[in-house]
Amino acid sequence: MLATNYRGPYRIRASQKPDPVIEHPGDAIVRVTRACICGSDLHLYHGLVPDTRIGHTFGHEFVGIVEEVGSAVETLKPGDRVLVPFNLFCGSCFFCQRELYSNCHNTNPEATAVGGIYGYSHTTGGYDGGQAEYVRVPMADVGPYKIPEDIVDDDAVLLTDALPTGYQAAEMGDIKQGDTVVVFGAGPVGIFAAKSAWLFGAGRVIVVDHVEYRLDFVRRYARCEIINFREVGDVALHIKKMTDWLGADVCIDAVGCEASGSLAQTITGRWTMLQAGAATALFWAINSVRKAGNVSIVGVYGPTFNAVPIGNALNKGITMRMNQAAVKRHVPHLIEHIRQGHLNPKEIITHRVPLEEVSDAYHIFSSKYDNCIKTVLIPPRAGSARATATSVIH
């Protein structure tokens, strides 16, 4: 089959690999019809995630058709159209019983924090991802969600990570009616966090970024205010000015470890690697929230050290919540929001690219060329979806 093939930092291509096979009676094989590139895939692509092995197949946001199931699988059958949450989870451990699916204790024996994730290095279990024609889906009775007939694949694929992550960011912010919510980052997750903030009762939503076309998009899509941090000097000061000098009630970090905007963070985190990436967005979130406000973090940070102003957080009495999204917990109510017209996830898709052009697709997304917000890769055997793929090689 054709699949992505990581060759080292900034080098990825599509090449032939053996088809996946049923390795356990609980497995399913899914023929992928769409797989997104995620902002967090860029951390892999840039070589920032430890133990990202040459040859690894990336991709944790995919939908497809069940091709084959193991003998123990009871709820899926060949032909079922499924979305597969990015988390691999067992459904029965201490954490899964509490619906903390991203913290499953059984799917990532290498780590004590995060559970298994498709296509996200051996630090999350080493599972092959879905930027491929086929993918093996372990514990197929637990993770995959059958896509209802009235939900299109373009919406469903965004339910595997980006939308639930943005939504959970707003949920963890514990937004009260009328609150001012500031979202750092106008990528897909930040866009969905801003949109979701209204659903939790926000009175005002402000998004901070420096990529002008993304700020333009989020202003229209989420009907929010925007700040280009390159234009305002001190971001925290600017936000205080906009909020009667109190600060925002809730700040959401939807950026993570590759933030721009602070020379000190960039030097220590991205050039000399003295910390695990640059935590600029989190720094701003802590300094922009009001005293006793809430900071919610869904931007991806690696393990070990980041330079975070924890003293400010303590003295301000901030509540901080963070986690990787427990995707499957959110899918049913997000489907209802899509049906009601409150959320239109597919509108953020800007590129539909044949899987063969994965190298160019990563380059365009990473470089923020061509007004790229969300890229969907479409494999050769995607069926009718293949006709919607457009070459990006000119």
Which residues lie near Zn ion (CB under 5 A)? 38, 40, 61, 89-90, 93, 96, 104, 106, 161
Burial of 93 (0-12, 13-18, 19+ CB in 10 A): middle
Residue with the CB atom nearest Zn ion in the bound state:
38
Q: By C-beta, is 41 or 68 nearer to Zn ion?
A: 41
Instruction: Report yes or no: 365 and 359 within 8 Å, Cβ to Cβ.
Output: no
Question: DSSP H helical segments within the chain, as ranges?
Answer: 39-45, 94-97, 153-156, 162-172, 188-199, 212-221, 235-242, 263-266, 280-288, 310-316, 327-340, 358-367
Q: By C-beta, is 161 or 360 nearer to Zn ion?
A: 161
Q: By C-beta, is 22 or 93 nearer to Zn ion?
A: 93
With CA atoms as reference, report the closest residue to 63 among 45, 81, 83: 83
Q: By C-beta, is 93 or 199 nearer to Zn ion?
A: 93
C-beta of 74: minimal distance to Zn ion in Å?
18
C-beta of 43: minimal distance to Zn ion in Å?
10
CA–CA gap between residue 299 and residue 277 (Å, rounded):
12
C-beta of 68: minimal distance to Zn ion in Å?
24
C-beta of 99: minimal distance to Zn ion in Å?
10
- Token reading at 331: 């899918």
Q: By C-beta, is 280 or 375 nearer to Zn ion?
A: 375
Residue 182 pairs in a beta bridge with 206, 251
C-beta of 368: minimal distance to Zn ion in Å?
17
Question: Could you tell me which residues come within 8 angstroms of residue 296 by beta carbon, excluding any fewer than 6 positions away?
Answer: 169, 170, 172, 173, 250, 251, 252, 253, 320, 321, 322
C-beta of 58: minimal distance to Zn ion in Å?
10
Q: By C-beta, is 51 or 99 nearer to Zn ion?
A: 99
C-beta of 37: minimal distance to Zn ion in Å?
8
C-beta of 95: minimal distance to Zn ion in Å?
6
Instruction: Using DSSP, state whether 331 is helix, strand or coil.
Output: helix
CA–CA gap between residue 375 and residue 348 (Å, rounded):
9
CA–CA gap between residue 349 and residue 362 (Å, rounded):
15
Q: By C-beta, is 40 or 294 nearer to Zn ion?
A: 40
Query: Residue 252 is inside which H or E element, if any?
Result: strand 248-253
**DSSP characters for 360-392?**
HHHHHHHHT-TT-SEEEEE-TT-GGGGGG----
C-beta of 60: minimal distance to Zn ion in Å?
5
The four Cα atoms 187, 188, 194, 196 give a dihedral, to 10 degrees, of -160
Task: Report the sign of the C-alpha dihedral through residues 321, 326, 330, 334, in that order.
Answer: positive
Q: By C-beta, is 38 or 73 nearer to Zn ion?
A: 38
Q: By C-beta, is 59 or 173 nearer to Zn ion?
A: 59
C-beta of 246: minimal distance to Zn ion in Å?
34
> CA-CA distances (angstroms) from residue 315 to 181, 250, 269, 311?
21, 17, 25, 6
- Token reading at 171: 């949920």
Q: By C-beta, is 37 or 147 nearer to Zn ion?
A: 37
C-beta of 92: minimal distance to Zn ion in Å?
6
With CA atoms as reference, report the closest residue to 327 among 154, 157, 137, 148: 157
Instruction: Report yes or no: 360 and 4 within 8 Å, Cβ to Cβ.
Output: no
Q: By C-beta, is 40 or 268 nearer to Zn ion?
A: 40
